[in-house]
């Protein structure tokens, strides 16, 4: 009987132990949104680009090909019998990713209606409109251009005529490298009938049909960058920091972090799991014991002034990772003003959560003197600090420090930065 009772008791114990082990297993809740912690694929603002400026996207191009004369009178011979060599050269600027202007030269020889070869040259001003605004490479740089153009100018022929001419056509370009493009054009120049020395000088009727290929070289700063839509990142940030308090949500996670930090600061020896949405303390969960950490903090707070440096480090409980702002060489100007969006988000979180902010400026030690780098790091930190104040962050909540020249990051230009920390 005793053996039978012992076996029955053992079975009950094993079953209850298995259930207890199952209840003690901590489940990591997946956010109900499903996408809070997933990397976002960048999306871009339609028709919005960075990099407009006078010094950007100037170009020169040179092309060779053939021109065929078609005029009034037409004369004898087919189109191929009136074809000769052509040279095109131009200089201009893409004012926006869609709109450009250029001054073009064209010349060499043409065969007129009399089937005689004549020299010619011309110059005209063209306006261009890029139809292709959606083909980009992995760096968000434009890969193709397809642009019609129209312009006006003068043509001079070996027949001693200088008539006014209209130019129009379509061009295509493919980017081979950061500055070099392969280009091709089909165009026509329409002028008065006496261009080849035969016909009326007051009526349009002579044409030079042209086809050419060559190279286009970008001068100044090349290209434009598409602007990433920041709204999905802002929404994700709000979900991570400011969503609801239910278990499994990112807001619950943020509240757990904030409430646990309050427990530590206020000297509480335990972390109240029931308050943060977990099962009550009467269940199998045990409370975390922070007495050792609290004791260490108490000793540090009571330490003499010689321990101030250590105390300042342990008092800095950072919220998340630092946000970096990058600056142009030898200035306190941001490389891109769209970075100011991050200032708005930092200020929003700091004000809603009562965080302090630490701003640390730096410069690139590979360039400039130590004195200049020290000055630059201070100017950059103070610039971000001022932007935070503009967004409503109290001045007494912001701490600034300056590192001078550093070489911590690669490539070297990444060291031209200011880092911003949120502090509990």
Per residue in 98-152, pLDDT (tens digit) is 899 999 999 888 887 777 788 888 899 999 999 987 666 555 577 889 999 999 9
Q: Is the pLDDT of residue 22 over 50?
A: no
Kindly state the DSSP code that residue 141 receives in the 8-state scheme.
-
Mean pLDDT value of segment 45-64: 81
Give the integer Cα–Cα distance in Å for 237 and 344.
12
Q: Is the pLDDT of residue 327 over 80?
A: yes
Q: Residue 240 in contact with residue 232, Cβ under 8 Å?
A: no
pLDDT recorded at residue 225: 73
pLDDT recorded at residue 289: 53
Joined tokens for residue 422: 């949120």
pLDDT recorded at residue 325: 94
Kindly state the DSSP code that residue 69 receives in the 8-state scheme.
E
Write down all domains in the chain, each with its CATH number in brackets.
26-43+229-304 (no CATH), 49-226 (2.40.160.20), 316-424 (3.30.1330.60)
pLDDT recorded at residue 183: 95
Q: 74 pLDDT band (50/70/90 cuts)?
A: low
Joined tokens for residue 203: 């009526």
Q: Residue 174 in contact with residue 182, Cβ under 8 Å?
A: yes
**Which residues are CB-contacts of 54 (< 8 A; sequence separation ≥ 6)?**
none
Per residue in 146-186, pLDDT (tens digit) is 999 999 999 888 777 778 899 999 999 999 988 999 999 99
pLDDT recorded at residue 319: 66
pLDDT recorded at residue 294: 60
Q: 188 pLDDT band (50/70/90 cuts)?
A: very high
Q: Is the pLDDT of residue 404 over 50?
A: yes
Q: Residue 186 in contact with residue 180, Cβ under 8 Å?
A: no
Range list of H helices, 266-339: 291-301, 308-314
Q: Residue 335 in contact with residue 326, Cβ under 8 Å?
A: yes
pLDDT recorded at residue 277: 44
- Helix H or strand E segment including 260: helix 250-265
Joined tokens for residue 361: 């400026």
Mean pLDDT value of segment 220-247: 68
Share of the chain above pLDDT 90, in %: 34
Give the integer Cα–Cα distance in Å for 62 and 104.
10
């Amino acid at each position: 009987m005793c053996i039978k009772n012992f076996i029955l008791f053992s079975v009950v114990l094993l079953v209850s132990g298995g259930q207890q082990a199952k209840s003690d297993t901590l489940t990591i809740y997946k956010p109900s949104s499903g996408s809070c912690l997933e990397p976002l694929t960048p999306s871009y603002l339609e028709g919005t680009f960075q990099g407009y400026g006078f010094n950007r996207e100037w170009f020169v191009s040179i092309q060779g090909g053939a021109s065929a004369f078609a005029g009034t009178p037409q004369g004898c011979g087919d189109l191929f019998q009136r074809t000769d060599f052509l040279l095109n050269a131009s200089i201009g600027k893409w004012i926006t990713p869609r709109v450009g202007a250029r001054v073009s030269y064209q010349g060499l020889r043409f065969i007129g209606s009399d089937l005689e070869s004549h020299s010619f040259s011309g110059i005209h001003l063209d306006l261009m409109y890029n139809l292709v605004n959606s083909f980009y490479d992995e760096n968000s740089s434009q890969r193709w251009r397809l642009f019609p153009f129209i312009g006006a100018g003068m043509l001079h022929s070996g027949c001693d005529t200088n008539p006014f001419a209209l130019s129009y056509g379509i061009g295509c370009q493919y980017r081979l490298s950061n500055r070099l493009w392969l280009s091709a054009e089909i165009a026509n120049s329409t002028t008065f009938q006496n261009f080849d020395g035969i016909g009326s000088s007051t009526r349009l009727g002579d044409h030079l049909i042209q086809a050419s290929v060559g190279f286009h070289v970008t001068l100044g700063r090349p290209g434009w960058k598409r602007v990433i839509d920041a709204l999905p990142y802002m929404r994700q940030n709000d979900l991570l920091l400011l969503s609801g308090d239910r278990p499994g949500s990112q807001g619950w996670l943020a509240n757990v972090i904030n409430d646990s930090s309050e427990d530590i600061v206020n000297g509480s020896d335990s972390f109240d799991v029931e308050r943060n949405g977990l099962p009550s303390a009467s269940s199998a969960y045990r409370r975390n014991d922070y007495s050792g950490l609290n004791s260490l903090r108490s000793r540090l707070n009571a330490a003499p002034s010689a321990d101030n440096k250590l105390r300042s480090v342990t008092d800095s409980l950072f919220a998340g990772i630092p946000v970096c702002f990058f600056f142009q060489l030898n200035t306190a100007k941001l490389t891109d003003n769209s970075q100011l969006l991050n200032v708005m988000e930092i200020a929003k979180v700091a004000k809603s959560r009562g965080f302090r902010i630490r701003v640390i400026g730096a410069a690139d030690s590979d360039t400039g003197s130590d004195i200049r780098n020290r000055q630059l790091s201070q100017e950059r930190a103070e610039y971000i600090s001022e932007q935070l104040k503009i967004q409503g962050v109290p001045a007494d909540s912001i701490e600034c420090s300056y590192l001078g020249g550093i070489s911590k990051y690669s490539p070297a230009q990444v060291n031209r930065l200011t880092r911003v920390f949120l502090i509990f």
